[in-house]
Structure formats: C-alpha cells, structure tokens
Structure 1
Amino acid sequence: MPQPIIDTHLHLIDQSRLSYPWLGDVPALNRSFSLDEYWSQAQPLGIVAALHMEVDVSPEQSEAETAFVQGLGRPVIGAIASARPEDPHFAAQLERMAATPFIRGIRRILHTSPDELSQAPLFAENLRRLAQYDLSFDLCVLARQLPIAADLVRACPDTRFVLDHCGVPAVEAQALSPWAEDIRRLAELPNLACKISGVVAYAGQQWTTADLRPFVEHCIACFGWDRVVWGSDWPVCTLTGDLGRWVQATHEILSGCSDSETSRLLSGNAKRIYRLSNQDF
C-alpha cells in the first residue's frame, strides 16, 4: 500500500466568488476548479489531506479567499494565505491572520514580480515578523531569482521558508546549470525547506519520469529527507499531464527509498513545517 500523502500545494479556483486577473493569460486554467473535482482524483491516489495555496486573487480579496477555502472543510485542513509584505499595513494584516489557526503560512508571488520587490528593506522586516507567530513563508521564484531568494532567507534567520516548485528549473531544456549550484547554496540555509512540486509544469507536454528525476533527486540530496515536502500544484499540473501522472512519477522517483524517507517527504515533514496535528485529520 502506498504511503499516505499530504498535498501541501492545492489551488482551488471559484470564478463565481473571486477574481483571478492572471487567468486571462492562461486559457487552459481559465475556469473554476472545485474541491469535488480535485478530491475525486486525489483520494484514490492516496492523498489524505491538503493545504490550500493562495491563487493570486485580486489583492483586496485575499482574506475572502481564505474564508472561502476555510468554509470547505476536509480534506482541506489549512491554508497558505495571500499577503503583501511590501505593504506598510502588513503588520495589522498579519495579526488578523495569526488569529486564524487555519492559516499555516503566507505567500507573496515573486516569480512574476520585479526583483526589487523582495529586496526592499520593508519586505524582509515584515517577513521577520512571521517568526513570532510561527507562520512560514512560501517562496515562489524563478530559477534566475534563486540568488536573491537566498538573500531574503538570510535576512530573516528566524523565519521558516519553503521553496516552491524546486526553484522552478527549466526541466524541458534539462538546464541543470546554474540551477543546481544555486539550489546547493540555498540548502545551506537551515531555515529553508524545499517543496517537491510544480516541476511538471516546466517539463513540456511529452515529459517522462526520467526528465523530472535529476531535478527532484538533486533537491532531496541537497536539502535532505527532513526538509522536503510534496505538493500537487493542482490544477497547474494539468497543463502538461494530470494529477495521477505526477503522483505516479513521484512514486517512481522514490522507488528504492526507505519507508521512513518516503514517509517524511510525503507527509511527516509537512506536519512539522506547517504545524499540523492529528486533530487536523
């Protein structure tokens, strides 16, 4: 029987409730994706619970998005909520989020933002505030932005970070350099974990497990089995395949690993990093 999986990167889209400005540029995703649609695919694959990852709604709707997802109930057991650390009023927003135990961390999309955004002193100052609330920050950056991501993580040594999508490598081009060295340097930072997710979206339509393997295995080798978590990136993963194909590829990559190693990647580390308890399941 496969190990149970906690999905740390589920996106749900409800266009009847919320506005997603970026979806106009991605026709294949420009519709609603419901929890029922996801769960009908995820449950047979061994996924037992999921954390919702913010979907870059219009900024004024960020708290409404969290409220919407929280109202869905299980299998969604928490959220990584949208926030704007560059905002002078971020501290007040953070207090409201910290008062909602359902929120496990926050994210601000950086891979489509100017590099200067995350390098501003206020951005790091506000991320340092997360530590006192035991909230994490998910880093979503392009491969070329990994060095400035390292600067941000270093500037916030007490804040817990999670690097999304293996640092967005160019999988289809098999561009291991300089991505691999940048990942190795990032992994030296003890307050950073890595999310094994999203790589299929950058792998092209005809990807195979062999295409993904060097990128996933390098992240695991650099970060170690105690600092990796798994995410589906559904429905973005459907751009080049489907959820089942990504789960199958994950199991193929992990074939030969110990039960302990597999369990830590697929569920154990997620419980610790995102502060999940048995009562959440």
Structure 2
Amino acid sequence: MRAAGIVGVAFNLPFHGVPYYLGAEALLARLAELDMILQLQVQNTDLLEFLPLIEKYPVRLLIDHCGRPDIAAGPRGEAFQALLTLGQTGRAAVKLSGHIKFSHTSYPFQDTWPFIQALVDAFTPDNCVWGSDWPFLRAPERVDYGPLLRLLEYLLPDAADRRKVLWHTPRRLFGFGGTDNMCA
C-alpha cells in the first residue's frame, strides 16, 4: 500500500456518526502496527465520544479541519481542550483547513482565529499541515483558493513556520519525495 502512496485511512464521524466506527478496533490496531495514519474528521463533541477508542491504540492521528470546534463553546470548550491535549502527545497532527465548515462568519473567518492559534501553539508547525479544502463541497458561500492561502500568511506570519506547514510537515507525514525547493 505504501508503494502505491497510501499512508492511512480516513474516518468521517460527522457523516457516519461515532457509533459507525466503534467496531474498528482491529483496523486501528493494524494501522498502529503498520505505522499508518488515521485521518479523523470530527465536529463539536465527536472527539470526546471517540477518544476512548483511539487512546487504546498508538495509531498516528491527523485531525481534519481544525477538529471543527464549536465556536460557541470557545477555545476552552471540553472537546477543543481534548484536541489540544492530543497535540501535545506527539502522535497527532492537525490540518489547518475547513474554516468555512465551523465558522459563524464569512471570510476571513475571524471567529476561527483563536482556535487556529491555539492549535498551532499546541501542535507546533511541525505537526500542522495546511489544506485548502478544495473542491469546497456544500460551501454556503463562494470560496477561493487564493484568499485562503493569503489568510495563512496572516495567521502564520513567520515564513519558516509557513514553510513547515506547507512543505516540511506534509512531506514527512505523507512521505512525499522530491527536492526541497518549494517556496513559502
């Protein structure tokens, strides 16, 4: 599977619901054994419900769309705090993406900024990757790739941090090869 570029599997808890994945213990054990990634899309309190299962297995984690936190609960919300704790374990990374999926405002999604800053602080740029979320399925408004990339320049003003998030971290996580000449 690795030779074909497969580095893990994705669980979409908001789409299927947490109970759908609760029988996946054998798969999580196998992913851990193979040192593969479980990409986990959660929203609101899904992580709290699923956490006991992923705590049983040392599978590497990639949390999609900033964990889609509950804006109303704020960065001190229980589920978001659990996500930040995962960031400190060293076995998890987070995608800084999907702002439109949890923001209550339009671009530039300012209500998400405290969450993103907390994620970068907890996970560090060494465990953050950027994603555009293209092709922007079910987006309630028009989303363009360019403004999202410019937003990252604002949220991560340090060029070295952006270089990690845009190149070094995804290269390490996903096993990308090639030369190291990407501009940030």
Q: 1:174 to 1:267 in 2, by over 3 A?
A: farther
Q: Identity, % of aligned pairs?
A: 24
SS at 2:106's partner residue?
coil
1:271 equivalent to 2:159? Answer no
Corresponding residue SS for 1:278: coil
Task: Please give the secondary structure, in 1, of the residue aligned with 2:32.
Answer: helix
Query: Quick one: structure 1 residues 131 and 181, their matched pair in 2 at CA, closer, same or farther if it must change by over 3 Å?
Result: closer
Correspondences of 1:219-258 after superposition (within 5 Å): 219-236=119-136, 238-240=139-141, 241-255=143-157, 257=158
- In structure 1, runs of 5+ residues without a counterpart are 1-97
**Structure 1 partner of 2:13:** 110
Q: Scaled by the length of structure 2, what TM-score is found?
A: 0.83
Normalising by structure 1, we get a TM-score of 0.56
Report the CA distance between 1:211 and its aligned residue.
2.5
The one-letter amino acid paired with 1:175 is: G
- Tell me how many residue pairs correspond in the alignment: 177
- Deviation of 1:225 (Å): 2.0
Matched, 1:133 2:34: yes
Change (3 A) 1:176 1:218: same
1:156 is aligned to: 57
Question: Residue 91 of structure 2 aligns to which amino acid in structure 1?
Answer: N
Counterparts of 1:166 and 1:99, CA distance in 2: 26
1:149 partner SS: helix
| Secondary structure at the counterpart of residue 183 of structure 1 | helix
Q: Give me the CA root mean square deviation.
A: 2.4
Higher RCO structure (Cα 8 Å, ≥6 apart): 1
Pick from 181, 191, 194 the counterpart of residue 91 of structure 2. Answer: 191
Residues 146 and 183, structure 1, Cα contact 8 Å, conserved in 2:
yes
Cα deviation code 1:62-96 (max 9, x no counterpart) = xxxxxxxxxxxxxxxxxxxxxxxxxxxxxxxxxxx
Residues 168 and 127 of structure 1, relative CA distance in 2, 3 Å threshold:
same
Paired amino acid for 1:131: A
Question: 1:198: how far off?
Answer: 0.8
The AA in structure 2 aligned to 1:250 is L
Q: How far apart are residue 268 of structure 1 and its match? A: 0.5
